[in-house]
Amino acid sequence: MSQAMRKITSLASKSKTTVIFINQLRDKIGNSYGPSETTTGGRALKFFASLRLDIRRTESLKIGDKIIGNSVKVKVAKNKLAPPFQISEFDIIYGEGISKELELISLGEKFKIVEKTGAWYSYKDNKLGQGFDNARKYLVENPIVSKEIEDTILGQTLPHRMVQPPAEETAPPKKEKASKRSQN
């Protein structure tokens, strides 16, 4: 595995290709300390990886009795590209992928941008819908409202992302060179 990983990482780097390995957890038998789970494939895969994510389902998303997706929790186990050990939680809807609209509703509620009154969600004067799914559908059908909520959330969480008016450009004063003769 180690020899193959050396070749793969070299070729992937030269061709600017991302290689994704999917692995599974196994229980360590007779383990008395440390983590009780390990990934298969030896140590080479762990060593050569630039980014390792631990993805776990936290709950199923349901409408009535029908399961429409999963809530997942992602932990960054290793990261050579950015700070490691970050944790993220998001929803994945079957057939759609990661639901941006559900994130906007939950983050909007967290930052008091989206109001929840009983089962109703609202933004400013707009009623988004009764229940999470109806509010999500409203945001899918109204991308302008969705973008407005997103910009407001980003403005509160990442103030440096806000559009700043360009500063007036002033040319620095020119320095005159003094000749050696004039100094004497």
Per the confidence metrics, is the pTM higher than 0.85? no
Residue closest to 57 by CA, chosen among 94, 90, 15: 90
Q: What are the start-end ranges of the E strands in the chain? A: 25-27, 37-39, 51-63, 66-79, 87-93, 97-98, 115-117, 120-123, 126-130
Helix (H, G, I), strand (E, B) or coil at 107: helix
CA distances from 46 to 7, 98, 125, 142 (A): 15, 26, 51, 44
9 has pLDDT over 90: no
Kindly report, residue by residue over 98-154, the tens digit of the pLDDT: 988 988 998 899 889 999 988 899 998 888 899 888 998 999 999 999 999 999 988
Per-residue pLDDT reduced to its tens digit, 41-82: 778 888 888 888 999 999 998 888 999 999 999 999 899 988
Domain 99-162 top-level CATH class = alpha beta
CA distance 57 to 75: 12
Give me the half-sphere count of Cα atoms (radius 13 Å) on the Cβ side of residue 61.
Answer: 17
